[in-house]
Amino acid sequence: MAKDKGITVKKDEDMPEWYSQVILKSELADYSPVKGCLVMRPYSYAIWQKLMDFFNELIFSVGVENAYFPMFIPESLFAKESEHAKGFAPEVAWVEKKEEHEERLALRPTSETIMYDSYAKWIRSYRDLPLIINLWCNIIRWEVKDVKPFLRSREFLWQEGHCVYETQEELHKETLQYLEFYRQVAEDLLAVPVIKGEKTEKERFAGADNTYTIESFMPDGKALQMGTSHDLSQGFAKSFNIEYLGRDEKFHAPWQNSWGISTRMIGAMVMMHGDDKGLVLPPKAAPIPVVIVPIIFEDTKKKVLAKAKEIQKATKGKLDDRDHYSAGWKFNQWEMKGVPIRIEIGPKDVEKDQCMLVRRDTGEKVPVALKDIKKTVSDTLETMQKDMLDKARKKMESMIDSSDNWEDFQKKTKDKMVRVKFCGEPECEENIKAETGGVTSRCQPLEGADPTGKCFKCGKEAKMDMYFSRNY
């Protein structure tokens, strides 16, 4: 695949190949010599940094503190919570022992067990609660053989929050609060619309009483789980002997949750907004919101560059004054990289005291007086952020349908997310997946649910509204 060529397939004809080309040619990422692993290039890490900054501001507002724990987990700790250990067993990578007497060490697939050993030492009284800590770290899950950049790999970056509370009421309230923060990251930063909901018993996090999720639906007809928040109840506390002296002078097991999002968010943003020219980045997530491309001729070079630098100062954009590439080549490169606004200025524009502003999402090209460029850029970026979310939401809503019978459901789930009345029984859920070749439950919506009626598959009394679809 030649680096200097554009995208060679159309998004709506071959999305997997389109996605791979966009990731590589926009310089978001590269494949690693380590099977199943990905190299995040500076451009994607800059997006991840924006996500971290955005999310840190949200969680710091409610008192969360960032910390770090080892990635090595002793086998004895990993096995303490039986459901958790069983659920993650197929994905765990183990460090080779150098000495026979050494305890085996797991490379963390998630950090509950290594963190809660410390929590048991730190928590003594109700005065130590709530304890609310977040990690930004890497995760190893060894089941992946073929890397799907940002969507599925053996190693990936994420954050995981782990909180301990005195009461179940605090636990429930804040578990949903972090889910709302995830919605804000997805929609307000990345312009990717989501559905907030609760997972079925079968799809819960291993060891959790309840798992809540934000789910989006990609343009190729597959759902993508983008973040989860788990009600761990008191199970881990009891397994790890975490207890506190209460206000009643008696010892109690506290209540816990955990919550996480990953670099999968970047993949969702790419799939949702990208087009046949490459990335289309929402302004708030873009490492470079504005690029200025001067159109250079030798006799007018000095005047054009002078005006371009004035625009750069006013807009805080990136000035691309490389003289070994043509303006057309630069236009294509910045389109590939999804820069929200491109500003072009040539000798004729200088004469008119104007420049040309081009929106990446729509391709709209308009002349702007230089005296107005700062405000126009600011207003356009704000409008573009809103427009991209609105467009994505309309697209997602057009791909969601409902069904009340099995035959109709099978047809619609080929390329849609389908809402049905569902009994919630794990056996029924297994049958649906087996008989459709992979359709799974996504979530029970937290708002607007009406579970009355019969299960569309087995005919038993329905217990919930449920979204089903194929998924990544």
Q: What is the pLDDT of residues 67-82, one digit of tens each?
A: 999 999 999 998 887 7
- Enumerate the β-bridge partners of residue 66: 134
Tokens of 71: 């990635």
Question: What is the Cα–Cα distance from 153 to 142, expressed in whole angstroms?
Answer: 8
Q: What is the pLDDT of residues 10-41, one digit of tens each?
A: 999 999 999 999 999 999 999 999 988 999 99
Confidence (pTM): 0.95
| d(C-alpha 256, C-alpha 254), whole Å | 7
Residues 212/261, Cβ–Cβ less than 8 Å: no
User: How many beta carbons lie within 10 A of that of residue 203, not counting itself?
Assistant: 17
Q: What CA–CA distance (Å, rounded) separates 431 from 389? A: 36
Lookup result for tokens 């060891």? 207
Task: Sketch out the chain's domains with CATH numbers.
Answer: 15-273 (3.30.930.10), 290-380 (3.40.50.800), 400-469 (3.30.110.30)
pLDDT for residue 81: 78
Which pLDDT does position 4 carry in this prediction? 54
Least Cα distance to 342 among 354, 321, 328, 358 occurs for 358
- pLDDT score of 83: 82
User: From CA 294, how far away is CA 24, in angstroms rounded?
Assistant: 27
Q: In what order do the strands lie in the sheet with 105-107?
A: 72-74, 105-107, 93-95
Distance separating alpha carbons of residues 316 and 390, to the nearest angstrom: 27
Q: What is the pLDDT of residue 97?
A: 84
Residue ranges in the chain modelled with pLDDT below 50: 1-3
